[in-house]
Amino acid sequence: MSSIRTRGLTKDFGDLRAVDNLDLDLPQGGVTGFVGPNGAGKSTTIRMLLGLIEPTSGEGEVLGQSITTPSAYLHRVGALIESPAFYPSLTGEENLRVFATLGGHDRHRIAEMLQIVGLGDRSIDKYKTYSLGMKQRLGIALALLPDPDLLVLDEPTNGLDPAGIVEIRTLLMQLGADGKTVFVSSHLLAEIQAACDSIVMIDHGGVVFSGTMADLLSRNSPTIRAAAEHESDTTRLIQLAADAGYHTTRVNGAIEIEAPGHWAPTLNRLAWQAGINLKELQAISSDLEQAFFAMTGNDKTGTE
Amino acid sequence: MRAFRSEWIKLSRRNTLLGFGGAMVGLTLLFTLLAFLSVGGANVDLDGGQAEAFVTADVLSLSDGSVFAITNLASMLGVVALALFASSMAGEFNKGTIRMVFVTEPNRLKVLSGKLAALASFVVVGLAATMIASVGIGALLAPGAGVDTSAWWTTDGLAAIGTTYLDITGAVLIPGLIGAAIAVLTRSAAIAISVGAAYFILGEALITGFWDTLGQWGPSAVSNALAVGGTGGEGMMGGAAPLIAYGTAAILAVGYGILSVAVSSITLARRDVTS
């Protein structure tokens, strides 16, 4: 059974179609990343799954329950939606107590969750004195409070320092390994790649990829980047690659060859035999960022 | 019940207790003090330049003299309640906490009913404290002001305290519930409080000047009529006597309460939480 399943999920805001016939199948257990460019529909999708927005059409299930009856499943879901929002004049502990009381959660877990996210020492300080990273940690503590089967986190590492990012990544991976399902959206593609077993990539409201991380990366061809010492040799270098059956692209005086990394020594030898001195030769392994730009057609560095 | 208890964690914080609770008690104590100083001969003029002072030792010595101050302040206490309800409801939207509230308790009507019940109970407790403080300070100041309080403690006097408490509670909850509805509609505490307070303090009175039938059913008129006991009562702050009978005011008050809660419920249940 999928932990999250949608079919034809669609949301219109007036004339704007924010989510367009979205079909999702999220496996149970493990960590799944959710990425897409700005305006791709990630936040709207998450809000529909959490019962905050009513879909225009389509259907969905979370933990086997229809999203039309969120009260049937939300007690088993922990969530952090966009930036954390709490009551500024209450302490961290009081804020969690407000939500634990509202949700009927075990209040004895509050201190434990605050310890887990590293706020044990600051739990009696008012929320308005917290740094962005501390606010984020409190948001994660709130998401963990119900001991959820499904954790939906939107930008959980936003505002955290590098040590904090590693800490939260380790926590999420541990939760996934323990059988919880973690659905995490993030701008930090390297973090998604490091933490996630599976990935859902959306663009213009629809899914462009859904599957394992390994599957996604294997689809994106590895490349070899090479540059001749004398630019006049570049054409001959391209010809060497073409003779071996590989496609090349000129990039700022160098060439990028769509070839596996293990062909780099062969190219080096062929170039030497042809009297071409190489000033650069590098095998570039495929990563999520490349896959993201390739699949969304977005060559800018920013993501949603 | 969970939403009620959760809301009380927020209401019991010092800022709210001192801000809204302090405003209710403080305003009433100030007015009580001024009223008793006025009849005591101090240079405090509460009659607004009228030929006949509306605060006299005789008035304060009546069986309902103990509740004179709080009765005349009912409309101001209503504005305090309006601000409390509106800031609490709209604050969830302003702070963005509404999305986590609805994820934690997806039944939005449970959230709304719990919040409104908690806010109403805060007002009920606040009014009780206000009334005790006002009557207590009045009793302490009475001998120096030449006010005879013996009638306050008779059966009629105690009954007046009880009925006034119930009437004022109803009178104060009307603007509170209307403030909550405006807050849910506008999602802005500033707009809800300014619009609501302006209407209850001045707006309805101005409109009634041009369209007098509003004085027979408008929410501010209903609230005031309920507070002073309908057409048989004195006008608030020495003003005109209400045009609405007590029974009619009670029925209209219930109607305004139901209407306000219905508007809040329908709006909250149907609206997408997008930001």
For B252-270, give the DSSP string: HHHHHHHHHHHHHHHHHHH
Question: Residue B77: how many CA atoms within 13 Å on its side-chain side?
Answer: 38
Question: Does B105 contact A51 at a Cβ distance shorter than 8 Å?
Answer: no
Domain membership of residue B48 (yes or no) is: no
DSSP-assigned letter for residue B202: I
Q: Which residue of B has its CA nearest to A103?
A: B104
Query: What is the length of chain A?
Result: 304
Q: Is A9 on the interface with B (CB under 8 A)?
A: no
Residue with tokens 């008035």: B59
Query: Looking at residues A15-28, what average pLDDT do you find?
Result: 88
Identify the helix (H) or strand (E) that includes residue A42: helix A42-49
Residues of B in contact with A53 (CB under 8 A): 272-274
User: Is CATH 3.30.70.1280 the classification given to domain A4-218?
Assistant: no
**Cβ pairs bridging A and B (under 8 Å):** 77
CA distance A258 to A226: 11
Among the partner-chain residues B15, B96, B104, the one whose CB lies closest to the CB of A103 is B104
The residues, any chain, with a CB within 8 Å of residue A56's CB and separated by 6 or more, are A10, A11, A12
- Calculate the average pLDDT of chain A: 86
> For the ranges A64-78, A117-131, B141-155, B238-252, which has the lowest average pLDDT?
B238-252
Encode A168-180 in three state secondary structure: HHHHHHHHHHCCC
Identify the helix (H) or strand (E) that includes residue A79: strand A77-80
pLDDT one-digit tens code per residue, A25-68: 888 888 999 988 887 888 899 999 999 999 999 999 999 999 99
pLDDT one-digit tens code per residue, B138-188: 889 888 878 888 888 889 989 989 999 999 999 999 999 999 999 999 999
Query: Looking at residues A229-234, what average pLDDT do you find?
Result: 88
Alpha helices in B12-107 (DSSP H): 14-16, 22-39, 57-61, 68-72, 74-95, 97-104
Domain membership of residue B113 (yes or no) is: yes
Taking CA atoms, B87 is separated from A114, B153, B193, B256, in Å, by 29, 38, 7, 20
Query: What is the length of chain B?
Result: 275
CA distance B55 to B38: 7
CA distance A39 to A303: 9
Residues of B in contact with A47 (CB under 8 A): 99, 272-274
Structural domain of B98: 2-25+58-270
pLDDT of A114 reads 92
Domain membership of residue B30 (yes or no) is: no
> For the ranges A184-193, A215-224, B71-80, which has the lowest average pLDDT?
A215-224
Q: Which pTM does this prediction carry?
A: 0.81
CA distance A192 to A184: 8
Q: Which residue of B has its CA nearest to A86?
A: B97
ipTM above 0.90, yes or no: no
In chain A, the largest separation of any two C-alpha atoms, in whole Å, equals 76
pLDDT one-digit tens code per residue, B94-112: 888 999 999 999 999 999 9
Chain B: which residues have CB within 8 Å of chain A?
Answer: 2-3, 5-6, 9-10, 13, 15, 95-97, 99-107, 111, 272-274
Question: Does B100 contact A89 at a Cβ distance shorter than 8 Å?
Answer: no
Range(s) within chain A of domains with CATH label 3.30.70.790 = 221-285
- Calculate the average pLDDT of chain B: 86
The residues, any chain, with a CB within 8 Å of residue A203's CB and separated by 6 or more, are A36, A37, A40, A295, A296, A297, A298
**How is domain A221-285 classified at the CATH fold level?**
Alpha-Beta Plaits (3.30.70)
Best of A102, A105, A140, A145 to disrupt the B interface (most B CBs within 10 Å) is A102
Q: Is A237 on the interface with B (CB under 8 A)?
A: no
pLDDT one-digit tens code per residue, A250-293: 888 888 888 877 888 899 999 999 999 999 988 776 677 777 77
Total tally of structural domains belonging to chain B: 1
pLDDT one-digit tens code per residue, A198-231: 888 888 878 888 888 777 776 666 788 899 988 8
pLDDT of B88 reads 93
pLDDT of B192 reads 93
Q: Minimal Cα–Cα distance from B101 to chain A, Å?
A: 7
Contact B246, B221 (CB under 8 A): no
pLDDT of B44 reads 47
Residues of A in contact with B106 (CB under 8 A): 51, 70-71, 74
CA dihedral sign of residues B79, B85, B90, B91: positive
Angle separating helix axes A162-177 and A132-144, nearest 10 degrees: 10
